[in-house]
Amino acid sequence: MTISEKSAYLKGLMEGMSLNTESNEGKMIAAIVDLLGDMAKRVTDIEETTIAISDELDEIEEDLDAIEDFIMDEEDDYDDYDDDGDDAWDEEEPEEGFDFGDEDTTIYEVECACGNIIDFDEETLEKGSIVCPNCGETLEFSLEDDDDQD
């Protein structure tokens, strides 16, 4: 029997006994039965929420396992050795999602006053400025060396 069922059973017993709810004892028993009914509803809600959270955590665990398997598969690819016996980790893989098209392109880095670090290529350097995506400030730079200005 669940808590809700037990609470309903007690309420039925109270009503079946035809207790005088006008007497002090009857008022107290009726209040206790009502309290037990409310508590049973709350416990049932908590149990349902706990089950839902548990299901979500199981899904998250499955997703993390899939991510871990994916990462471990990629690391296993690097465990192989080159033809010359060197570890494959010696070779750097290009970063995915950060491709300027030419492997010989120099990447520059500048720090904005807001603390945001911005990477850019020679084409942006030639333009002479870049806008910080964090704060919107325009950062200007020149291709001339500081020694040439003296």
* Contact predicate 114/132, CB 8 Å: yes
Examine the domain organization and report whether 67 and 104 are in the same domain. no
Helix axes of 24-78 and 3-16: crossing angle, nearest 10 degrees: 170
Examine the domain organization and report whether 11 and 74 are in the same domain. yes
Alpha-helical runs (H) found in the chain: 3-16, 24-78, 122-127
Q: Within a domain: residue 90?
A: no
Examine the domain organization and report whether 112 and 143 are in the same domain. yes
* Contact predicate 120/110, CB 8 Å: yes
Q: Within a domain: residue 86?
A: no
Q: Within a domain: residue 100?
A: yes
What is the predicted pLDDT for the residue at 100?
47
Q: Within a domain: residue 83?
A: no
| Enclosing domain of residue 117 | 95-149
How far apart CA 4 and CA 38 sit, in angstroms, is 9
What is the predicted pLDDT for the residue at 124?
81
Question: Of the candidates 48, 78, 108, which is a domain's last residue?
Answer: 78
What is the predicted pLDDT for the residue at 150?
45
Q: Within a domain: residue 140?
A: yes
Q: Within a domain: residue 104?
A: yes
Examine the domain organization and report whether 74 and 104 are in the same domain. no
What is the predicted pLDDT for the residue at 86?
53
Per run of 10 residues, the mean pLDDT along the chain (length 150 residues) is 90 88 90 94 94 96 93 70 51 50 70 86 82 87 60
Examine the domain organization and report whether 12 and 58 are in the same domain. yes
Q: Within a domain: residue 87?
A: no
What is the predicted pLDDT for the residue at 130?
86
